[in-house]
């Protein structure tokens, strides 16, 4: 039976003791699990409570804003109706003293601001009307603004400037490329033009020769056909042949 290696076991214990000692030097509470567990549990409980307290309803804020706006619209409607009644009364209460409280002034100021805000929103809705848009640029602009948060304004401005510069550089590259293409086309056209001009001249010369040849042939053929045979050399030759036969 083999004997156990005691030296190897003692070395492991020494290494473990050194590791524990080093860990305690770095953090004396490294092995205090129970104390750490209680503290961690308290932190988790506190986070859950904070999350419950700060958790806002998802849709209630918009509903509250809508309800507040409708209430103001109703108040403005009532105020307009009261103003119409005063106009109908005319000068009946003209000599009477009127009192206006600060709360009423603040209320009228809020109604005036609400009316201006509604006019501005109506103008924006009129501008963003789909039936009056020529393309989808307005839709993409609205999507771009709604997708990105407001705190990226500076970054967006810098990115927009870089994008404009990049587009300008691309436009310049396209212009230079088109200019090079145009010059190369002109160069090829100038190289081909002498050959075409020579062939065109040769073709025109050949056509002139072909077209001018038939009149000469006609002129040559006209003389023996229409020449009189009873005068001149033809008559003398005919008389000579006649006398030879006799």
Residue 189 CA to residue 196 CA, distance in Å, equals 10
Max CA pair span of the chain? 168
Supply the pLDDT for residue 232: 66
Residue 48 CA to residue 40 CA, distance in Å, equals 12
DSSP state of 132: G
Which residues, in sequence order, are CB contacts of 229 under 8 Å at separation 6+?
235, 238
Q: Mark residue 180 as left, alpha or beta (left: phi above 0; alpha: psi -120 to 50; beta: remaining).
A: alpha
Residue 185 CA to residue 182 CA, distance in Å, equals 5
Supply the pLDDT for residue 198: 52
Supply the pLDDT for residue 29: 79
Residue 37 CA to residue 31 CA, distance in Å, equals 11
Residue 70 CA to residue 75 CA, distance in Å, equals 9
> How far apart, in Å, are the Cα atoms of 213 and each of 206, 209, 216?
11, 6, 6
Q: Answer for the pair 73, 113: CB distance below 8 angstroms, yes or no.
A: no
Mean pLDDT by 10 residues, the chain (246 residues): 51 87 84 78 85 68 84 85 81 71 83 83 76 72 70 51 63 75 78 56 50 47 54 77 82
Supply the pLDDT for residue 220: 47
Supply the pLDDT for residue 113: 85
Supply the pLDDT for residue 206: 47
- Residue with tokens 């396209």, as numbered in its chain: 174
DSSP state of 91: T
Cα angle at 213 between 207 and 217, to 5 degrees?
A: 160
Residue 234 CA to residue 241 CA, distance in Å, equals 11
Residue 117 CA to residue 76 CA, distance in Å, equals 13
The structure tokens listed for 123 are 């103008």
- Residues 55-99 have pLDDT tens digits of 666 677 888 888 888 888 888 888 888 888 878 877 777 677 777
> How far apart, in Å, are the Cα atoms of 188 and each of 91, 168, 177?
93, 30, 17
């Amino acid at each position: 039976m083999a004997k156990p290696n005691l030296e190897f076991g003692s070395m492991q214990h020494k290494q473990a003791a050194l590791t524990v000692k080093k860990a305690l030097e770095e953090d004396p509470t490294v092995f205090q699990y129970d104390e750490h567990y209680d503290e961690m549990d308290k932190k988790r409980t506190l986070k859950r409570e904070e999350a419950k307290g700060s958790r806002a309803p998802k849709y209630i804020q918009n509903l509250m804003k809508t309800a507040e706006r409708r209430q103001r619209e109703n108040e403005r409607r009532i105020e307009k109706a009261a103003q119409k009644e005063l106009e109908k009364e005319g000068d009946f209460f003209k000599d009477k003293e009127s009192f206006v409280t600060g709360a009423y002034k603040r209320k009228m100021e809020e109604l005036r601001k609400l009316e201006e805000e509604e006019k501005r929103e109506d103008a924006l809705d009129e501008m963003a009307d789909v039936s009056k848009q020529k393309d989808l640029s307005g839709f993409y602009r609205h999507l771009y603004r709604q997708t990105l948060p407001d705190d990226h304004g500076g970054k967006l401005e810098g990115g927009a400037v870089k994008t404009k510069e990049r587009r300008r550089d691309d436009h310049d590259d396209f212009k230079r490329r088109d200019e090079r293409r145009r010059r190369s086309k002109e160069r090829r056209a100038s190289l081909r033009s002498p050959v075409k001009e020579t062939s065109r001249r040769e073709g025109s010369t050949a056509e002139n020769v072909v077209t001018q040849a038939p009149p000469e042939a006609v002129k040559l053929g006209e003389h023996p056909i229409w020449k009189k045979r009873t005068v001149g050399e033809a008559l003398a030759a005919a008389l000579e042949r006649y006398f030879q036969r006799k």
